[in-house]
Structure 1
Amino acid sequence: MSTKNIKPRGRPRRFDPQEAVATAQALFHERGYDAVSVSDVTKALGINPPSFYAAFDSKSALFSRVLDRWSENGAIPLSDILRDDRPVADALAHLLEEAARRYADASGRAGCLVIEGTRSNDPEAREAACAFNRAAEKTILDYVAARHPQDAERVTNFVSTVMCGLSAKARSGHTLDQLLETARIASSALASAIPSEAHP
């Protein structure tokens, strides 16, 4: 029997879900969740829609996996910054400056992936981002409350609001210097709002 016209078998599947999540993370961060279509993702990954849905189920489910990845390698390290061996106001000032530096990423992925995700038009994606944001806010709240319980809520609200503003301004083109200036003015306000304390 001649085998001349028999087509070779397809190449082994080389699709790596972890690499795919990293690629999707870059897309979502650069363009925003709502501006990225499934077609954009499949084109970037070099796969077809059936393969995408088999691997991730939906765009919002993929975004949830992106957020999990972000929490491991892209999120601000709150536990490293909000330490018990420094005054609360100093730690929060450090947090705001770190946010400014990260949000001003010159690679085209400005702003905070999570904060921007909380404004998504997709209810599932928005809730996934909001859950991460609430967890971060609770970490800040608990940190402040440990030494300044009467000020914890208002200080946390202030810090959260400033971080949202830094993210939005980074997305709209503010430079690192501009973001740092804003963070430092906010830090001065925090120093006035939080009672002075000695180093623990």
Structure 2
Amino acid sequence: MSDTNKVKTAGRPRKFSVNEGIAKAMALFHARGYDDVGVAELSSTIGITATSLYAAYGSKLGLFERALANYVECSGTFVGEALSRAGSAEELLRKLLRGAATAYTEYPGRSGCMVLDGELMTSDTRASNLIRENVVRVRSAIADRLRALGVTDAERKADIAILLMRGISASARTGSSRESLLDAADRMAHLAT
């Protein structure tokens, strides 16, 4: 299937990239959350009509789901790297928290984590469920890796990791610098293990 769809707008055929549309929507959802971004704004930002948006993505929720998956794939790589490279619980937590501090401060105007902050930025049950599925998946992967490292209280430590990542996300969103978050990540990793 081609990445480019022909879409009619104002009587003229127009090409747009489905993947570019997802990336543009992701930036909006990341910055302001699911509830604060409307179909009209999404359509305008992507450069298509609302009818074309529904034709390409099914619905606002369908576009959000694809944007969320794109965010996890692009910005969440630090989680996979931490899980595969850490040799101890402290190293895993440090890599997760430092990765979060770096990823969550990477893009001016949309700091924080689209997933971890996303639950707080929507009252839509379907969007919230999509977000929660991602959080549960990451938490389970962290707990599994901790068990593989011989940690007996892996579930509790995984909960702590998610809690600390949420804190880093909230701090990034409210303006904390990357340097201060990296310093805090090192300190928290040591104290939490």
* TM-score (structure 1 length as normaliser): 0.84
**2:5 corresponds to 1:13:** no
Among candidates 157, 161, 164, match of residue 163 of structure 2? 161
- 1:1-200 aligned at under 5 Å gives the runs 10-83=11-84, 86-119=87-120, 120-190=122-192, 193=193
By how many angstroms is 1:85 displaced? 6.2
- Superposed CA offset, 1:90-132 (max 9, x none): 1221111110111112422200111112222111111111111
Assess if the C-alpha contact under 8 Å between 1:111 and 1:171 holds in 2.
Answer: yes
Tell me, what secondary structure is at the counterpart of 1:130?
A: helix
CA contact (8 A) 2:105 2:178 kept: yes
Aligned-residue CA RMSD in angstroms?
1.8
In structure 2, distance between residues paired with 1:80 and 1:110: 21
Aligned equivalents of 1:31 and 1:50: distance in 2?
23
Secondary structure of the residue aligned to 2:15 is coil
Give 1:71 shift: 2.6
Unaligned runs of 5+ in 1: 1-8, 194-200
Larger radius of gyration between Structure 1 and Structure 2 = 1
Residue aligning to 1:3 = none
Report the CA distance between 1:38 and its aligned residue.
1.1
Change (3 A) 1:78 1:59: same
Moved over 4 A (4+): none
Tell me how far 1:78 sits from its aligned partner: 2.6
Q: Is the 8 A contact 1:76 1:99 kept in 2?
A: no
- Distance in structure 2 (CA, Å) of the matches to 1:179 and 1:149: 26
Number of residues paired by the alignment?
183
Check whether the contact 1:104–1:179 (CA below 8 A) recurs between aligned residues.
no
**3-state secondary structure, aligned to 1:12:** strand
Quick one: distance in 2 between partners of 1:83 and 1:55? 36
Q: Which has the higher strand share?
A: 2
Give structure 2 stretches of 5+ with no counterpart: 1-9
| 8 Å CA contact 2:29, 2:37 repeated in 1 | yes
Cα distance in 1, alignment partners of residues 73 and 179 from structure 2: 27
Distance in structure 2 (CA, Å) of the matches to 1:166 and 1:27: 21
SS in 2 for 1:179: helix
> How far apart, CA to CA, are the structure 1 residues paired with 2:60 and 2:116?
18
Looking at structure 1, the residues matched to 38 and 94 of structure 2 have their Cα atoms a distance apart, in angstroms, of: 37
Structure 2-normalised TM-score? Answer: 0.87
Greater shift after overlay, 70-79 or 113-122?
70-79
Q: Secondary structure in 1 aligned to 2:152?
A: coil
Percent of aligned positions that are identical: 34
